[in-house]
Structure 1
Amino acid sequence: MLRVHNTHELFAAVETLAHSVPLRGERLAIITNGGGPAIMAVDALSDRGGKLAVLSNETIEKLSDVLPSCWSHANPVDIIGDADITRYEKAVNILLDSDDFDALLIMHSPSAIAPGNKTAQRLTEVLATHPRTKRFNVLTNWSGENEAAQSRKIFTEAGFPAYRTPESAISAFMHLVEYRRNQKQLMETPISFGDTSIVSGENKRNPRHVHDVLNHLLAQEITHLETHEVRPVLESYGFKTLPTWIASDPAEAVHIAEQIGYPVAIKLRSPDIRHKSEVHGVLLHLRTADEVANGAQAILDRVSMNYPSARIDGLLVQRMASRSGAQELRISVHNDSVFGPVILMGEDAAAWNIHKDAAVAIPPLNMALARYMVINAIKTGKIRQRSNLEQIDIPALCHLLVKISQLIIDCPEIVDFDIHPLLASGTDMTVIDASMTLHPFSGDKQARLAIRPYPKEHEESFTLKDGRKILLRPILPEDEPKHKDFISHVSVDDLYKRFFSDVGEFNHEALANFTQIDYDREMAFVATSLITNDEGKPEEIIIGVTRALSDPENVESEFAILVRSDLKGVGLGRILMEKIIRYCTQSGVKRITGMTMPSNRGMIMLAQKVGFEIDVQMADGVVEMLLPLATNTPE
């Protein structure tokens, strides 16, 4: 995932990523025959937050042996304007032999001593033959027009991106860096935090109650909800809100204010006036009965004068929330014609431009993705951490964003949703005002989402032969620690049969690939059970996993099953096998395939029992399994 800001940058990013290998790090080395362009490149790198590699003493000594004594003795490696092709070649080879950098930018300014085309041709040969070239991303900048254009073509045809200016080359390198950073953040292991955990038993949301509330309102043809109507929905998902009372007239507003205590806020309640600011329909910090009575009457008078036909359903009265040290944020959900629901977040402001003032995310959000959204909002100035206000607790804000995401996923009737403002003070997140727009919905509620959320409908409970109760459910990104523990309970022999090779300890990247899947393209089910941990509390563990990966046409799906080595013979393997078969059948897959070793007799016998065709290929040491499916094409 990479964000660009214009069409030129879009095509430049595609060019760079198409010719790149994954960055090992973010250190850039620069070699140049022109000091000025190199300085421009370094300035651009600094402006974009990039890192200039530091050359080791060993590398500097090797370069000093082949370069003039007046060379830069640092990065950028300025090989001086009189550099010929041979000097370029020697310097590039020395750099490629080192481990001082992660990407190399080769720059060239027009020179009669080192003609652009000949230098480019020779360097492509050097890069193609050096054994370590593939370890690095190599970018080139050949400045100039006419002849330089031909030089850039030579590099491009050889598979090395070429750029016309130092700035565009640095921009390309930073695309690689930002892509790496984004991928790293997206692969962070999410934290199960409070009621965002689907499997922890702490999920406090009540979607059934919310559906009843929304359908009741829609049955009355009420499609726009104000704060007091939204409040029951929010409280069903664990949001902290301010109590709100309805007053029919100024006198009742005074009575309510006397009961709840001053200071109070009063707000117009009218289905015909969406933006209360049009009639100054919100008054804050009213401290006496006279202020409430006069303010309420003034609101009603302004409505009568400016909107004589508008319906007035009274006034809303709230006790003023303490705003001392709190930051006012705005969080909205809008439906985009392409991406479906999108979540927007920024600082609360009268003139809120979603294109300039808001960070954007697409549900579903987990804690890692929510944190990415918050950090991005802070980095880009959409949210500013002010020294005179209490610092926002990032995990608490992430928790709130995850709850908003879950609300939108659960309730397709919600077309638009606006929290305006949210008071954020440390860990305290209080919704002051909120509004919703509703529309009747029928059909697949997940089809409207750009990213398929956790498919809870696939959860099933079973009892094993030993009496152990298990939950079979789709895998979650949060399962990474549990998956690591699960693998530690699988024998070396069983792992060899599963992966067809000796495997060591799985690192974070490998475990993230197992647990962070796109449910539209791949499915993995984990069998979990509860144990009592050392603290005497119930803890969920993974005891088995089955997964299926379908081809792009959804014709064939390859399956795999792995069970804890100490839990064989209790029927878990068959439960996992039948689960993945049911899933593939429901998904419209035409056939399931798998591969194992002839020595894996347990898997072969299980596959035969459920109807797989078995093809033993002793010469190759593999057993191929095939199960044609009588599929039900999904709607």
Structure 2
Amino acid sequence: MHMVEYRRNQKQLRETPALPSNLTSNTAEAHLLLQQAIAEGATSLDTHEVQPILQAYGMNTLPTWIASDSTEAVHIAKQIGYPVALKLRSPDIPHKSEVQGVMLYLRTANEVQQAANAIFDRVKMAWPQARVHGLLVQSMANRAGAQELRVVVEHDPVFGPLIMLGEGGVEWRPEDQAVVALPPLNMNLARYLVIQGIKSKKIRARSALRPLDVAGLSQLLVQVSNLIVDCPEIQRLDIHPLLASGSEFTALDVTLDIAPFEGDNESRLAVRPYPHQLEEWVELKNGERCLFRPILPEDEPQLQQFISRVTKEDLYYRYFSEINEFTHEDLANMTQIDYDREMAFVAVRRIDQTEEILGVTRAISDPDNIDAEFAVLVRSDLKGLGLGRRLMEKLITYTRDHGLQRLNGITMPNNRGMVALARKLGFNVDIQLEEGIVGLTLNLAQREES
């Protein structure tokens, strides 16, 4: 039974990820807000302060106002309409429940005033030294038929950031109440996390009135992952509760711990994220501009279409055998790569909102990061535009910059185009007629010196 479950899980993880069209992110704005807060000496941000950061990544939050005292809380409540919720603002009291610092469903001015004064009185008695920055005032969210979830990001000293999903509670025990994933997440990995949460009963598949929107929750987890990957200043994120109501997910209460960060952003992550910095626009001999970028798991359909535009002869040169069809597993292996030990660059032409792959080059390094095996393939009807050479030059630069010493490949003696290109790029060309192969080796250190 465990083997069946394992195979099912592996199959799910190998599915081609969907590419949501409505994911938004404003990394520059989020960085600016975080840097400003750090410069002002802040180490923890509350819901009101986190709101614009989450919104920069397309996440919904409940509108929040700040009241300095009970009188101002009443004034705000009258403006936004009843019922309202009041929440304590104090950087010294991490769990508001310790002082009954959250009061819900307040329906009149008298109730708001009494609740606000009661919160302040309880803080004075239980935490006399605590700093109090007033109250948060929110309209009451419509909880009818909704489901309350919790999303937490914490830093592990070994694995770096961990994304945890559960239903939370006052006594939060992630080891018992949450499922965990390592960022970065794509839609496949996020969906897998949600399904695991449902299977392990860490979250419910439905509320009293409606089922959980698995796709919508998966997308929110991808947005959280993108925020964490992009912003190393974030030490901890706690969204609790996250209200799931149909296709809408709203963060009602959020805490964000922050600190200055000066190290290598990628080194703090157990799984290397998509390297955006390697994207590059290139002009071909015919004047057309195309984008060179690392391959993505979502590229599988485009890669299949690309291969269909390559002649059988060119495929034979590339794979040393006749290829009739590539399976989904084959294409998944080509697109779902570990950027730490493998790199594949695709040249893509953008037309409106779609992309078309024109060429692919890749290198797979050995465990010692000394040698890498390379391959390159260009669409058969696009030869002569310098596409193969430009792709190889990008791959050579990448492997050299990552400390590799040699780049190795093989081709056939009658693949004259590849042999000629290799010579132009400085490869040592070893023609082995008896074996029917040509060995290609580039000493990356020597090429850098020259």
TM-score between both structures, scaled by the size of structure 1: 0.69
> 205, 229, 247: which one pairs with 1:385?
205
Structure 1 position 245 matched with structure 2 position 65: yes
Partners of 1:489 and 1:305 lie apart in 2 by 75
> 98, 102, 107: which one pairs with 1:287?
107
Q: How many angstroms does 1:353 deviate by?
A: 1.3
Q: How many angstroms does 1:387 deviate by?
A: 5.5
RMSD, aligned α-carbons: 1.4
Indicate conservation of the 8 Å contact 1:585/1:631, yes or no.
no
Partners of 2:127 and 2:412 lie apart in 1 by 79
Q: How many angstroms does 1:467 deviate by?
A: 2.2
Partners of 1:549 and 1:305 lie apart in 2 by 63
SS at match of 2:291: strand
Query: Residue type of the partner of 1:589?
Result: L
Which aligned pairs between 1:19-418 and structure 2 lie closer than 5 A? 50=1, 174=2, 176-196=3-23, 204-386=24-206, 388-418=208-238
Structure 1 position 492 matched with structure 2 position 307: no
SS at match of 1:503: coil
Partners of 1:300 and 1:510 lie apart in 2 by 63
Indicate conservation of the 8 Å contact 1:347/1:357, yes or no.
yes
Distance 1:387 1:295, change over 3 A: closer
Indicate conservation of the 8 Å contact 1:477/1:515, yes or no.
yes
> 283, 292, 313: which one pairs with 1:463?
283
Query: Residue type of the partner of 1:357?
Result: Q
The match for 1:571 is 386
Indicate conservation of the 8 Å contact 1:548/1:580, yes or no.
yes
Partners of 2:22 and 2:447 lie apart in 1 by 35
Q: 1:524-570 deviations in whole A, cap 9, x for unaligned?
A: 00100023xxxxx5411111000001111111111100000011111
Query: Residue type of the partner of 1:363?
Result: P
Query: Residue type of the partner of 1:577?
Result: M
Query: Residue type of the partner of 2:391?
Result: L
> 451, 460, 472: which one pairs with 2:292?
472
Partners of 2:111 and 2:29 lie apart in 1 by 38
Structure 1 position 551 matched with structure 2 position 350: no
The match for 1:3 is none
Partners of 1:632 and 1:500 lie apart in 2 by 28
Q: 1:386-442 deviations in whole A, cap 9, x for unaligned?
A: 462321111100000001011110011111100000000111001101001111111
Q: How many angstroms does 1:632 deviate by?
A: 11
Partners of 2:141 and 2:52 lie apart in 1 by 19
- Name the % identity: 58
Distance 1:411 1:592, change over 3 A: same
Structure 1 unpaired stretches of 5+: 1-49, 51-173, 197-203, 532-536
Query: Residue type of the partner of 1:539?
Result: T
TM-score between both structures, scaled by the size of structure 2: 0.97
Partners of 2:446 and 2:236 lie apart in 1 by 38
SS at match of 2:267: coil
Partners of 1:597 and 1:495 lie apart in 2 by 12
Q: How many angstroms does 1:219 deviate by?
A: 1.2
Indicate conservation of the 8 Å contact 1:484/1:511, yes or no.
yes
> 341, 355, 360: which one pairs with 1:521?
341
Q: 1:596-628 deviations in whole A, cap 9, x for unaligned?
A: 011111111111111111111111111111110
Partners of 1:367 and 1:411 lie apart in 2 by 20
Indicate conservation of the 8 Å contact 2:147/2:207, yes or no.
no
Distance 1:262 1:632, change over 3 A: farther
Pair member with larger Rg: 1
Partners of 1:193 and 1:538 lie apart in 2 by 12
Indicate conservation of the 8 Å contact 2:145/2:207, yes or no.
no
SS at match of 1:330: strand
The match for 1:69 is none
The match for 1:81 is none
Distance 1:387 1:437, change over 3 A: closer
* Greater strand content: 2
Query: Residue type of the partner of 2:111?
Result: E
Indicate conservation of the 8 Å contact 1:391/1:425, yes or no.
no
Distance 1:184 1:632, change over 3 A: farther
Q: 1:68-93 deviations in whole A, cap 9, x for unaligned?
A: xxxxxxxxxxxxxxxxxxxxxxxxxx
Query: Residue type of the partner of 1:502?
Result: E
Indicate conservation of the 8 Å contact 1:264/1:320, yes or no.
yes
The match for 1:580 is 395
Indicate conservation of the 8 Å contact 2:426/2:447, yes or no.
no
Distance 1:212 1:378, change over 3 A: same
Query: Residue type of the partner of 1:241?
Result: T
The match for 1:598 is 413
Q: How many angstroms does 1:206 deviate by?
A: 0.9
Indicate conservation of the 8 Å contact 1:332/1:345, yes or no.
yes
Distance 1:433 1:591, change over 3 A: same
Q: 1:124-151 deviations in whole A, cap 9, x for unaligned?
A: xxxxxxxxxxxxxxxxxxxxxxxxxxxx
Partners of 2:331 and 2:392 lie apart in 1 by 22
Indicate conservation of the 8 Å contact 2:187/2:222, yes or no.
yes
Deviates further, 483-492 or 212-221:
212-221
Q: How many angstroms does 1:283 deviate by?
A: 0.4
Query: Residue type of the partner of 1:552?
Result: P
Indicate conservation of the 8 Å contact 1:343/1:360, yes or no.
yes
The match for 2:438 is 623
SS at match of 1:356: helix
Partners of 2:34 and 2:22 lie apart in 1 by 22
Structure 2 unpaired stretches of 5+: none
Query: Residue type of the partner of 2:441?
Result: L
